[in-house]
Each structure stands twice: as C-alpha cells, then as structure tokens.
Amino acid sequence: MNQLEQLKQYTTVVADTGDFESMRAFAPRDATTNPSLILKAVKKDEYKPLLEKAVHDNRWNQHEIMDHLLVAFGAEILKIVPGRVSTEVDAGLSFDTQATIDKGRALIDLYSRARIPRERILIKIASTWEGIRAAEVLEREGIRCNMTLLFSLPQAIACAEANVRLISPFVGRIYDWYKKAEGTEFTGANDPGVQSVRSIYDYYSYFGYKTEVMGASFRNTSQIIELAGCDLLTISPDLLKKLTESDEPVTRKLTREATQEQASPPPRTSEKDFRFQLNASAMATEKLAEGIRLFCADTHTLNQMIEETRSAM
C-alpha cells in the first residue's frame, strides 16, 4: 500500500481544498474549505458557473451572495465526499460572538434549504475567546463546529470545555514561525507543529474530552506521518499526491487508548486566564492575528470578484 492508503488505516483523511477533482482523485471522507481556498477555486474557469449562479440568484441582495457561494461549494463537495464539509464564518466576525452565532445559523439555514442535513456540516470559526463562546451556543443548538486558527493548548482546552465537535490545530504555520524565529529546519518528532498537536491530543485523552482533533496546515509529508493516528488530518492535494507516490511504512503514532487512566478535568478556563495564557505565547498570538488578517484579505478579494460579476450582469 502507498502511504495514503496506510494512513487511512489509522486516521480519517480530509481534503483541504475547494477543488472537486482533487477530492474525486484521493477519496477523502471529509473536506475543509476557507476563504483562501474558495478564492483560489473561483479563479478557475470550471468553477466560475458557481460564482455566476450565486450572484445571479441573489443580485438584488448582495450581502447574501457570499453565503450562497460558500454553501454552493459545500453542496457540490458533499456530492463527492461521504462525510462532512467545513464552511467558514467570515474572519471579520472573529471578535463578535453574536454576529458569529447569527452567521452560523444563517449558513445552516441555507444548507437546510438545499436539503442537506446539519450533521454533514461543520461551521468553521476562529479560535478566539469570542469565537469559542459562539461555538458553545451553536453546539447546544445542534450546529457542529470546527475551530480553526488554533495554535496553542489554551485555545484547545477552551474549545474542549465548550464541547465543540472538532478543532483544527495548524501544524505548518507553527512550524513556519519557529523556523523563522530560530533559523532551524525541524524534522520528524522535533517539529514544533507536530509537538503542539501531540500535546493537545494527549491532554484530551488524559481528561477524556470527546472533541475531535484534526491536524491541519501541513508543509510536508513528514509532519503528516508523525501524526498518524490523530482523529483526522486535513491535507492539501499536493501532499495527498506525494503520499500516494511513496510506499514507505506508516505506523500509528497517536492513540487515545494508550494513555493513562482518565482524570477529572481541571476547573473551567476563565476569560482572563485564556487571554493571559494565549498572550504568553508570542507564536500563538502572532499567528492567530496574522491568520485572521489573511482570511479577511482573501474574503475582501472574493467580495470584489462578486461585485465585478454582479456589475457585469
């Protein structure tokens, strides 16, 4: 078996892309999207009809076009993958709890109108304090959430305490920060991004948290192989391809069953402690802020494309 086939024995493989053909080629169970991936997709001719239809059908209510476009992509993806798709809330709402709740409900409503059950949708929200509080409310309403832009254990702990369905710790962006800060190429188990996910996974296992851990934002296949056994891994098409081109052995590195006897969780994290602990990590603080800025920039560009398409009609 190639490495991708071996990996699927231990971990649920998720496609980190908005490209339908890549999903068909690598047969993941789930798929994740974000503004950057949707922007990349709609620049291709084969996906422009989705943009044009979303604009045409909602041209008199331009504020809803983006939501309809995201759901249109999600609906098409769910025709390909058997599991779930993650649809992201506007990163510009990352510090507004109520607006994030409202947007999550609106996206689920659009999927419902398309006759797609909410069990197949993950609403993707930035792992700010406000975002986590919004996810807690949505989860109580049966709307499952995927917490993104997660770079630290304090963020992961707060998400688990809020009973969110899934978190996406960013391996590659953590690696990028430490590589730049220390001028070192990290490999294997020494990779700080890999170590971050392992620490979160072990913490969840020790205290019996049910929140799923999905490693994300990979830079190379070594990072992926080091996390074999993680609940899920969301992987870009180029790295999925590289995994199919190698038959080097893949062994399980993470398992919840091999941990110590589960202990009672510590007291729930307060807002003050969350903010202080997050602030204590320069890496997590910087990468969270940068991630929000980059997603906002791509959302702005996507909105410009929407407006240009609307004006041309």
Catalytic residue status for 124? yes
Question: How far apart are alpha carbons 1 and 244 in whole angstroms?
Answer: 9
Question: How far apart are alpha carbons 42 and 27 in whole angstroms?
Answer: 22
Contact assessment for residue 221 and residue 240, using Cβ atoms and an 8 Å cutoff: no
Question: How far apart are alpha carbons 33 and 84 in whole angstroms?
Answer: 11
3-state helix, strand, coil in the chain (%, to 5): 55, 10, 30
| CA atoms 132, 150, 204, 276: torsion sign | negative
Q: Which helix (H) or strand (E) holds 55?
A: helix 48-57
Q: Which of 43, 44, 48, 124 is catalytic?
A: 124
Tokens 């209510």: give the residue: 61
**What is the residue type of 175?**
Y
Contact assessment for residue 233 and residue 224, using Cβ atoms and an 8 Å cutoff: yes
As annotated, the active-site residues are 124
